[in-house]
Amino acid sequence: MQLVQLQQSLPDFQQRGLGVAALSYDSPAILAEFAQRKGIQFPLLPDPESNYLKAIGLRNDEATGLGKGVAIPAILYLNPQGIVQEVFFEESYRDRPTPASVLGSLFPDTLSATTQVSAAGAEVRLSQSDSRVTLGSRFTLTVELDLPEGLHAYAPDAQDAVGVALDFTQEPELVVESVDYPPGHSLEVFGQQMPVYEGKVRLRATVKIDSQGEWRKSLKEPRPLTIKAGLTLQTCTDQVCHPPAQVPLEWTVELVPLDLERSPDELQHKP
């Protein structure tokens, strides 16, 4: 599924001037059949003996049986000189970051904006890395606050104040792995130093579609999933604080079943 997602995100990578390729322990025949079946338009590099994977430290030497020689799941970001700048490792082939979320980590402004609302004098913009996900997809949801000049909000670690907080509604399909808040800067408020946000502030949530729960058995056809959250926000000027606001937020993604189709039997790996 990740290679299909990478194909879907290919124009966004190319718009950033990035080339894309995938290295696999599969044979040339398997990769050629897969590329034709799925419409893959970037290079799929066969490494059936896993020599190149070993040379770059990505061969899984603990795998046995049909998995022997398989790659450690990873995405590498290289500069034009071929020097690795970032590595995104995962323990599982099923639970992995989507290519669009990786691109969003490198270039946050590539995330697709979805909704804009006003609350407590601030503009709140929502964005997401992906619109289409499957079991195990790890992707990004963001909330950007735009606080006009003269207005501030308290960071989550502010004492004796209502700090910004993003809380997700529990859904069986969704695992909220983390919510990252940027550090606030110190501002004197009513005679004491407080951590606050001013200007543009981006909150970043990493979420995953659960690949283990019982709900997955019911996913037979693509269907929408609405992800709900609440943003706690209190804004202040240097003279007055507005009442705390609870802002309802929503993102929508399309859930698609895992693609279990395999290459013809004569091309598949044999014990």
Residue owning tokens 């690795």: 84
The amino acid occupying position 92 is S
- Which pLDDT score, from 0 to 100, does residue 214 have? 87
10-residue stretch averages of pLDDT, the chain, 271 residues long = 89 94 90 92 92 86 67 88 88 84 88 78 92 94 95 90 95 96 87 90 96 87 96 90 92 88 58 51
Give the global pTM: 0.87
- Fold of the 108-255 domain: Immunoglobulin-like (2.60.40)
- Which pLDDT score, from 0 to 100, does residue 89 have? 80
- 182 Cβ neighbours under 8 A, 6+ residues apart: 197, 201, 202, 203
Beta bridge partners of 175: 208
Q: What ranges do the domains of the chain cover?
A: 2-93, 108-255
CATH level 2 (architecture), domain 2-93: 3-Layer(aba) Sandwich (3.40)
- Which pLDDT score, from 0 to 100, does residue 67 have? 60
- Which pLDDT score, from 0 to 100, does residue 121 have? 85
- Which pLDDT score, from 0 to 100, does residue 251 have? 96
Identify the burial level of 119 via C-beta atoms within 10 angstroms of its C-beta, where 0-12 means exposed, 13-18 middle and 19 or more buried. middle
